[in-house]
Amino acid sequence: MKTLKIVLINLLLLFVSCREDMIEDEIATNTELKSSKVTLGPYTSPLPYNLNVVYFIPSDVTARPEYERRLSEILLHAQDYYRTNMYNWGYGNRTFGLLKDPATNRIKINVVKGSGTMASYNSISTTTQIHSEVMAYFASHPSDKTSNHTLIFIATPSIGTPIPYNGFYYGVSRGAIVGDNEAFDMQYFNEKSSRGNQVIASMGGFLHELGHGFNLRHDALPKTQESVPGYGTSLMGLGNSTYGHSSTILTKASCALLATCEVFATAPQSSNFFYTGNYNFEVTSINHSVSNGVIHIWGTYNTNGSIISLNSYYNPSHSYFAVSGTDAPNASKTFHSYVTINDLHLQDRPYDFTIAAEFTDGTIKWATFPFTIKNGVPDLNFPVSTAGWAVSSSSQYGAHPASLAIDGDINTYWHTNYAAGSVQTAPIPGQPQQFPYYFDIDMASAKWILGASFIQHQGLTRTAKRIQIHTRPNTSSGWEYQGSYDLTNTTSKQYAQFGAYKYARYIRIVFYSSYDGQPYVAVPEIGIYQ
């Protein structure tokens, strides 16, 4: 089996408490760091940026016993895990920064006492309040904040409290939050008991959510690679449940993202260097082929920034199974991605192919292209989203307007006007209903496109035959002829492909004839693809 090789790539949750929405402002702007080494009281770190660790205690809860020892051991274990994976994938002996007292081996933990009771923080929806209180703490203790990444442990009511508690077990961009009680103790990790199993389960989930806090998204190894010695299950896939039981690793795509994560940086940068977002990334063409069971997707892109890595994901409806890969960019700004269909964990469902460009400051920009796999065969004509489109036609019947051709429902359709005595608005105003008919699309912004797709009337009534397609990038340019096509008289989706990619905002489809010889057409779905 051919394993995944990629030139572009890597962001997504199974634990019920995982979240993919990005809380971009949970950590305020970074303070300027002048040295590659940080010292705060007895705590030191060889790295310039370090994970902010917070112990959050609701007003009616007490700190759980030995939390300083337990959480320090947990974090040092996590540091070693991430270091091992970075090294194994060729990114050097690197891990995330932590402030540690070398005399006691304890991590710097910032204690924040909550203003509300545990019941007031009763679900994920209230974590915004927790973040607000943590940010208020850092505002009044600015020297305690050494990066844009914060991990919050919440003291739970008792040792019998499940972890996660109230859903407090998730990670988002630059932050993670987990419950804590004394059952979460690394000294029981290797114990063959229910207590040991609880620690293992908690640790797997913790490492997974921490990964989200380090900008990682859900992903998976190629299916056949999981059984290869030295590989196993991706931590950012189902690894939160396999960690401690079987081989569980970070993918290379995840490690590529960590390489530009702020708290993995080995040298200080200027103030506010990280995560500026001041970059563009646009896929200007995307091509595909399937040969001998291997999907090959390639194309070109434009950007105004310096890209460190290009990650790709083949993402089914369940993101834990998104097969990923990574490679370096090149001067020609081209990409190539390969995956064996048998290496995809799920078949016969909608998929997304996602390309993620990772910039030097840790900013990640991505482009997503939907496709489907049906009966093991991928349809890789990537449809352009119809969100924001405006459509019109030179003729339409009142109950079947042009808008029904882009509503995603094959049982509704645009129908030219067949009312007695009706006339067209174009190409000659007032002309009786007859061919040709115009169907115009405004996609709201210009995009690189390769053609149009059509689904005929499901009863094969008033099906379209001969069409022409014209495009233009803006209203000041003229229409550019792309070709004439004969649609087939079938109910399946079909495509009219241009000779080359075109940069266009406006598309005009001209209908010249129908299969039943009548001067009307009825079309359920019209799309544009890349």
Closest CA to 53 of 74, 36, 39: 74
The pair of three-digit structure tokens given for residue 331, joined into one six-digit string: 């001067």
* Long-range pairs of 430-433 with CB within 8 A, sequence gap ≥ 24: 433/395, 433/519, 433/520
In angstroms, the CA 375 to CA 341 distance is 11
List, in sequence order, every residue forming a beta bridge with 448; answer none if it has no partner. Answer: 503
pTM equals 0.82
Q: Would you give per-residue pLDDT tens digits along the chain (530 residues)?
A: 333 333 333 323 333 335 333 333 333 333 343 467 899 999 999 999 999 999 999 999 999 999 999 999 999 999 999 999 999 999 999 999 999 999 999 999 999 999 999 888 876 666 788 889 999 999 999 999 999 999 999 998 877 665 555 556 677 779 999 889 898 999 999 988 888 888 898 899 999 999 999 999 999 999 999 999 999 999 999 999 999 999 999 999 999 999 999 999 999 999 999 999 999 999 988 989 999 999 999 999 999 999 999 999 999 988 899 999 998 899 999 999 999 999 999 999 999 999 999 999 999 999 999 999 988 899 999 999 999 999 999 999 999 999 999 999 999 999 999 888 787 777 777 777 899 999 999 999 999 999 999 999 999 999 999 999 999 999 999 999 999 999 999 999 999 999 988 999 999 999 999 999 989 999 999 999 99
What integer pLDDT is reported at residue 161 of this predicted model?
65
In angstroms, the CA 323 to CA 219 distance is 6
The pair of three-digit structure tokens given for residue 143, joined into one six-digit string: 């020297």
Listed in sequence order, the residues at least 6 apart from 406 whose beta carbon sits closer than 8 Å to its beta carbon are: 386, 389, 391, 441, 525, 526, 527
Listed in sequence order, the residues at least 6 apart from 305 whose beta carbon sits closer than 8 Å to its beta carbon are: 278, 279, 280, 281, 359, 360, 363
List, in sequence order, every residue forming a beta bridge with 294; answer none if it has no partner. Answer: 291, 340
The pair of three-digit structure tokens given for residue 441, joined into one six-digit string: 């699309």
Residue with tokens 């710097």: 108
DSSP string, 228-264: STT--EETTTTHHHHTTTS-EE--HHHHHHHTT-GGG
What integer pLDDT is reported at residue 170 of this predicted model?
73
What integer pLDDT is reported at residue 125 of this predicted model?
64
The pair of three-digit structure tokens given for residue 435, joined into one six-digit string: 């061919």
CB 456 within 8 A of CB 516: no
What integer pLDDT is reported at residue 424 of this predicted model?
73
What integer pLDDT is reported at residue 129 of this predicted model?
87
Rg of the Cα atoms in the chain:
28
What integer pLDDT is reported at residue 269 of this predicted model?
94
